[in-house]
C-alpha cells in the first residue's frame, strides 16, 4: 500500500510523460481510475520504496501478481473502467479485481490514447520498427482522426503516423521488419489487388496501434499497419490499392512496455527522492493465440 505522497508522485510523473490532454477524451477514459485510501502515516526518516507494475490489460492474473508482489501502483495501458458502473458485483471478474486492489491499497493509472498520441509513445515506437532503425532514412508525419485538433505545445503529437521510406523496401521485407520489431512469428496480411508479389517495392506505411481504422481512414499509403481491422475495411483497402499488415490488437502495444519501463524509471529518478522499481507484468498476455 502506497502513501498519498507516493500515489501523487506516480500520478504526476505519468501525466508529465503522457499528458491527459493528448488523449481522445471524447470517448476514452484515461487517468487515475482507481485511487486507494492513503496508507496510515508513520514517522520515518527513510523514504518508502515505490514499486510500479506495468501491463497492457488489468486482468485477474495481473491484479493477483500486483498483490503478491506488494506493488504500490499499477500502470495499465487499457482502461479497465470504460463505461459507467451502476453496481459492483463479485461475479464480474473486473469488479472483483477492483475490490481486491482497493483492499490491497493498490491504485491504477490508465494512459491509453495519451500514449498513442504522444511524441515518443506507442506509435512512434511502431514507426521505428517500420523505418528499420536509425541506419535507414525515413520521414514521418502525424495522422489524426477527422475533427481532432493539435494540442498547444504538442504539435508533433497525434494518434497515428505515416512513414515515408527514403529507400523503398519490398513488401516481404516490411513484413519481416514488423514481425522482428513486435517479436511475432506470424502476422496477417491483406495484399492490394495491384500488389503483384512480395517483391514489389513499398515506399510509404501508415500505422496506428490497436484498432486503427478510424485513425487511418483516408490516409494514402502503400500499406496500412495496425492491430485489427474489420472485414469490409480490409476489402476497401485492398480494392483501392493499399495493402495491410494486421498484427493483433495488443501485439502492436505490448512491446512498448519495455520502452515505458525505461521512461518511467528515469522520470521517477527525477521526481522522487526515494528508491523506486518499475517492473513489467509476467502474467499480462494477448488473449488470442494460434492453435
155 is in an annotated binding site: no
Q: What is the pLDDT of residue 147?
A: 59
Class of domain 4-112+256-280: alpha beta
Cell 491509453, residue located? 112
Kindly report, residue by residue over 173-208, the tens digit of the pLDDT: 999 999 999 999 999 999 998 887 788 899 999 999
* Helix runs in 118-158, H state only: 122-131
Taking the C-alpha atoms of residue 109 and residue 24, their distance in angstroms, rounded to an integer, is: 16
Question: How many Cβ atoms from other residues are within 10 Å of residue 128's Cβ?
Answer: 18
- Domain ranges in the chain are 4-112+256-280, 122-252
253 is in an annotated binding site: yes
Question: How many Cβ atoms from other residues are within 10 Å of residue 183's Cβ?
Answer: 9
- Assign 3-class secondary structure to 58-127: CCHHHHHHHHHCCCCEEEECCCCCCCCCCCCCCCCHHHHHHHHHHHHCCEEEECCHHHHHCCCCHHHHHH
- β pairing state of 50-55 and 276-280: parallel
Kindly report, residue by residue over 154-169, the tens digit of the pLDDT: 778 888 999 999 999 9
Task: Give pTM, 2 decimals.
Answer: 0.92
Q: Tell me phi and psi for residue 262, to 5 degrees.
A: -70, -40
Q: What is the pLDDT of residue 135?
A: 73
Cell numbers representing residue 185 in the block = 512469428
78 is in an annotated binding site: yes
Contact present, 183 and 211 (Cβ < 8 Å)? no
For the domain 122-252, what is the CATH code? 3.40.1390.30
Domains 4-112+256-280 and 122-252 share a fold: yes
Amino acid at each position: 500500500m502506497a502513501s498519498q505522497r507516493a500515489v501523487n508522485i506516480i500520478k504526476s510523473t505519468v501525466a508529465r510523460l503522457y499528458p491527459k490532454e493528448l488523449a481522445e477524451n471524447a470517448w476514452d477514459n484515461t487517468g487515475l481510475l482507481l485511487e486507494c485510501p492513503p496508507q496510515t502515516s508513520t514517522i520515518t526518516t527513510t523514504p518508502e520504496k515505490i514499486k510500479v507494475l506495468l501491463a497492457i490489460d488489468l486482468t485477474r492474473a495481473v491484479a493477483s501478481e500486483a498483490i503478491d508482489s506488494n506493488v504500490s501502483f499499477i500502470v495499465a495501458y487499457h482502461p479497465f473502467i470504460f463505461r459507467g458502473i451502476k453496481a459492483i458485483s463479485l461475479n464480474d471478474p473486473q469488479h472483483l479485481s477492483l475490490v481486491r486492489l482497493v483492499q490491497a491499497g493498490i491504485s491504477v493509472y490508465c494512459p491509453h490514447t495519451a500514449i498513442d498520441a504522444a511524441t515518443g509513445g506507442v506509435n512512434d515506437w511502431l514507426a521505428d520498427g517500420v523505418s528499420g532503425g536509425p541506419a535507414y532514412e525515413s520521414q514521418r508525419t502525424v495522422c489524426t482522426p477527422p475533427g481532432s485538433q493539435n494540442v498547444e505545445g504538442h504539435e508533433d503529437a497525434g494518434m497515428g503516423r505515416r512513414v515515408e521510406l527514403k529507400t523503398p523496401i519490398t513488401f516481404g521485407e516490411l513484413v519481416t521488419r514488423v514481425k522482428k520489431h513486435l517479436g511475432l512469428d506470424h502476422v496477417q496480411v491483406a495484399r492490394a489487388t495491384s500488389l503483384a508479389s512480395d517483391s514489389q517495392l513499398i515506399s510509404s506505411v501508415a500505422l496506428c496501434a490497436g484498432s486503427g481504422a478510424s485513425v487511418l481512414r483516408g490516409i494514402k499509403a502503400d500499406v496500412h499497419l495496425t492491430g485489427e481491422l474489420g472485414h469490409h475495411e480490409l476489402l476497401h483497402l485492398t480494392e483501392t490499392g493499399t495493402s495491410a499488415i494486421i498484427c493483433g490488437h495488443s501485439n502492436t502495444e505490448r512491446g512498448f512496455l519495455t520502452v515505458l519501463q525505461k521512461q518511467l524509471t528515469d522520470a521517477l529518478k527525477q521526481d522522487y527522492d526515494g528508491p523506486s522499481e518499475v517492473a513489467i507484468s509476467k502474467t499480462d498476455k494477448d488473449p488470442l493465440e494460434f492453435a
